[in-house]
Chain A
Amino acid sequence: MDRRETGSTHPESQEQAPLLLTGTGVSPGSGYGPAYLVVGDIPEPAAGSRHDGDAPAERDRAERALDDVAADLESRGARAGGEAEEVLGAQAMMARDPGLAVEVGQLIDQGVAAPRAVFEAFGKYRDLLSAAGGYLGERVADLDDIRDRAIALLTGLPMPGVPTSAAVPFVLVAKDLAPADTALLSKDVVAAFVTEQGGPTSHTAILARSMGVPAVVGCAGATSIAQGAAVLVDGSSGHVRLSPDEDEVTAARNADEARRAVLSAVSGPGATADGHAVPLLANIGGPRDLEAALAAGAEGVGLYRTEFLFLDRETAPTPEEQEEAYRAVFDAFPGGRVVVRTLDAGADKPLAFLPPPGEEPNPALGERGIRLFRRYPDIMAVQLGALARAAAGTAAKAEIMAPMVATVEEAAWFAEACRTAGLENAGIMIEVPSAAIRAADLIEEVDFFSIGTNDLTQYALAADRQVSEVATLQDPWHPAVLDLIGMAASAATAAGKGCGVCGEAAADPILACVLVGMGVTSLSMSAPALGLVRAALARHTREQCRLAAEAARSSTSPAGARTAARAELPELGSLSL
C-alpha cells in the first residue's frame, strides 16, 4: 500500500482524455461505478438572455424545474427525518413560493429566458433577506441553493450538492467535500470517493475510511472526468482508471475479496504475538457508526466525535437529546471503554450557535476546541452534564477528553470541570506540540492522554491539513512527529497512566506497530481499518515493535522511517503490506 504517490496525470493512450489519473490512496479497496461530479458554483445566466418566443412553454419549463427542486428537497427530507426534514421542507416551500412563481412568469412574458428569469426573481428576495441580516441573512444561502438547483435543471448542468440515493452506487468526484455535503452519504450510494484536493487527513479521507469506502484524494484532473463516465478507483495505489474493461473490473473485485479473507482470519482483542494486550478501539461520529464498529470487533470506542451532533443546526442539541446519543454509545460496549471527545468546533467547523468572534485568518490556529469552551462555558457544562447522566446508568467505562489543549492550566481547568460534573476519568488530547513537549507536567492534571496525530502533525510541520499543496508534509511518519508521540507516551507510562492514539496514524498497520513500540497503550481508528491493524500486531512481538520504533526514530525522513520500521517487522509481507 503505497500512500506516498501524489497527484499527477498520466495520459496512457492516444485518446484526448487521459485514461488513468493518479492521486493519493487514502482508504483501501476498489470501487467501480459511474462518476458523479459535484459542482461548486452554478454560473449566473447571462443578463439579457431571451427565450425563443414561446412564453407559455418557457413558463411551463420554469415551473416544472422549481417543482422538481421542491419535490427532491422533500424526498431528501423525508429520508433524513428529524430536524433535517423540517429544514428541507421549509426550503421546498421556498421553491414552490407563489410570489416567486408570479415574478418568474412576468419576466418570461417579457421575453427573458427561464434560467435568467429564475435568477432575477430570486434576486429580489435575496436582497430583502440579506438586508434583514441575522437569521434571515443566513437563509440567503438556502435561497441560493434552491436557485442554483433550478438553474442547473433548466440548463442541463450537473446539480449542486451530493445526491443521497442512487440506483447504482456512484463514484463521487469533487474538488473537495465539506462535512455538510457528506452528512447523509452511505455505502449504498457511494462506491468510491475521488477528490482533486485534500490529503490523507482531509475530511473526505476520514469520512471514506469510517464508511469503509475506497478513496483517492489529491488527484489532479479529477474534476475533468465526464459526468456519468465509468470509473474504477483503487484506494490503495491511488489509481483512478476511466472506462476500464471488464477484465480489469473483475480483477479488482477479486483482489478485494482476497484482502477481506486475510483480514477475517484474525479476530479477538488486540495483542502482540507475545500476548501484550493493545486494546483496539473504534473512532465514531455517533450511534449510527456503532454497528460497523461492533462488526469489526472493536473493544470499545477510542474517539467519539460529538461535534456531529452539533453540526448543521441552528440551536444546540438539548441536554436530553445529547444524553440519549451518548447513552446509545455507552450501552453498546458494556464493560468496555468509551472515550468521548467534547465538542471540537471552530472556524473550520463552524456552528451557527457558537459563532467565533470574527473572521480568522488561520482557523487552525484560532479559537477552536477547548478554546471555544472558554468562551462558551455553558455549552460545555451542558455537554458534561449530559455525559455524566448517560454514563451513570451504563456498564461502560466513560472517559471524557478535551481537544486542542495546549497548557497545564487548560488541562487542569477541564479536569476540574469534569469532576464537578461527576465524571471520574478526565483526559486530554495531545495535538498541540507544546502539550507533547511538556507532557510530564500535563499528565499530573489528568487521568489519560489520547494523541490526535492528524492535528499534531499539522502543528509540528506547520502544514495546514486543508491545503493540498502542503499535503506531503502532513505525514505522521515524520521523525519529528514520532518524537512528540514518544514524549507523550513516555510521560504517561512514567505516571502509570494510559496513552492512546486516536488519529489516523493508528489506522496504518505498520505505524500501529511502531506506536505500540513507543509505549502507546491503545489504538483507535475507523472500523474498517481494525482488521489489518489487528493482523499486523498479532504477527509481531512487542520487542519487534520496540525495535521498529527505535529504527523509525533514528531516521531522518518519513520515507526513511517507514523503510527502517518495515525492516524490523518481517511478517508484513504475509499481509501484502
Chain B
Amino acid sequence: MAERKVSVESEVGLHARPAATFVQTAAKAPFDVTVAKAGGQPVSAKSILSVLALDVRQGESIVISAEGEGADEVLDRLAEIAAAS
C-alpha cells in the first residue's frame, strides 16, 4: 500500500474546482484510491460526494492511499493537485 500525506493549500480547500479535478483524476485509476483526513476514516477518492463531505479546509493534511500497478504515479499526481494553491 502506497500513500502520500499532503497539506491542502488551495484557498477553497478540497472543495469546488480542486475537489472536482482531484476526483476526476482518481477515477481514472484502475484500482481503489482512498483519501482521509489525518487520523480520520478513509473514503473513496473517486466519489465527489465523499470527498466533499470530508470538508478539508486550507492548511489541513490529508492522506491519499492506493495499491496496484502505477499507484505511485497516481498518488504523485493527486498529491500535486491537493497541494496546489
Contact = CB atoms under 8 A, between A and B. Distances in A.
Interface stretch (A6-14, A86-94, A196-204, A455-463): A86-94
Interface stretch (A125-133, A326-334, A501-509, A511-519): A125-133
By Cβ-Cβ distance, the 9 closest A-B pairs, closest first, are A99-B47, A128-B53, A125-B49, A132-B55, A93-B48, A97-B49, A90-B20, A99-B50, A97-B47
A35 B50 CA distance: 39
22 contacts: A86-B17, A86-B20, A90-B16, A93-B23, A94-B48, A97-B49, A97-B50, A98-B44, A98-B47, A99-B44, A99-B46, A99-B49, A99-B50, A100-B49, A128-B53, A129-B49, A132-B55, A135-B16, A136-B52, A139-B52, A143-B49, A314-B16
Interface string B28-63: 000000000000000110111110110100000000
Interface string A82-125: 00001001100110011110000000000000000000000001
Contacts of A139: 52
Interface residues of B, number: 19
B49 A135 contact: no
A139 B43 CA distance: 19
**Majority SS at the chain A contact face:** helix
Nearest to B27: A98
B84 interface: no
A136 B12 CA distance: 11
Contacts of A125: 49, 53
B20 A89 contact: yes
Given A90-B20, A100-B49, 12 more contacts: A86-B20, A89-B20, A94-B49, A97-B48, A97-B49, A99-B43, A99-B47, A99-B50, A100-B47, A129-B49, A136-B15, A136-B52
Nearest to B23: A93
A100 B49 CA distance: 8
B10 interface: no
B20 A93 contact: yes
Nearest to B55: A132
B24 interface: yes
Contact of A93 (B24, B44, B53): B24
* Of B12, B15, B50, B52, most A-chain CB atoms within 10 Å: B52
Contacts of A135: 12, 15-16
Nearest to A125: B49
Nearest to A135: B15
Interface of B: 12, 15-17, 19-20, 23-24, 27, 43-44, 46-50, 52-53, 55
A125 B51 CA distance: 11
Given A94-B48, A97-B47, A100-B47, A132 B53 contact: yes
Interface in A409-468: none
A136 B55 CA distance: 8
A98 B32 CA distance: 12
Contacts, number: 48
A87 to B, nearest CB: 9
**Majority SS at the chain B contact face:** helix
Nearest to A121: B49
A27 B26 CA distance: 51
A180 B12 CA distance: 24
A99 B47 CA distance: 6
B8 to A, nearest CB: 14
Contacts of B55: 132, 136
Contacts of A93: 20, 23-24, 48
Contacts of A99: 43-44, 46-47, 49-50
Interface in A69-87: 86
Given A86-B17, A93-B24, A98 B53 contact: no
A213 B18 CA distance: 40
Contact of A129 (B16, B20, B53): B53
B46 A98 contact: yes
Contacts of B47: 97-100
Contacts of B43: 99
Contacts of A90: 16, 19-20, 48
A135 B49 CA distance: 13
Contacts of B20: 86, 89-90, 93
A187 B16 CA distance: 33
A128 B47 CA distance: 14
Nearest to A99: B47
A373 B15 CA distance: 29
Contacts of B15: 135-136
* Of B19, B24, B53, most A-chain CB atoms within 10 Å: B53
A135 B13 CA distance: 11
B15 to A, nearest CB: 6
B36 to A, nearest CB: 14
A93 B53 CA distance: 14
B4 to A, nearest CB: 21
* Of A86, A97, A136, A139, most B-chain CB atoms within 10 Å: A97
Contacts of B12: 135
Contacts of B44: 98-99
Nearest to A100: B49
A306 B22 CA distance: 34
A314 B17 CA distance: 12
A93 B52 CA distance: 12
Contacts of A129: 49, 52-53
A450 to B, nearest CB: 38
A246 B61 CA distance: 68
A352 to B, nearest CB: 12
Nearest to B50: A99
Contacts of B19: 90
A143 B52 CA distance: 12
Contacts of A143: 49
Contacts of A98: 27, 44, 46-47
Contacts of B17: 86
Contacts of B53: 125, 128-129, 132, 136
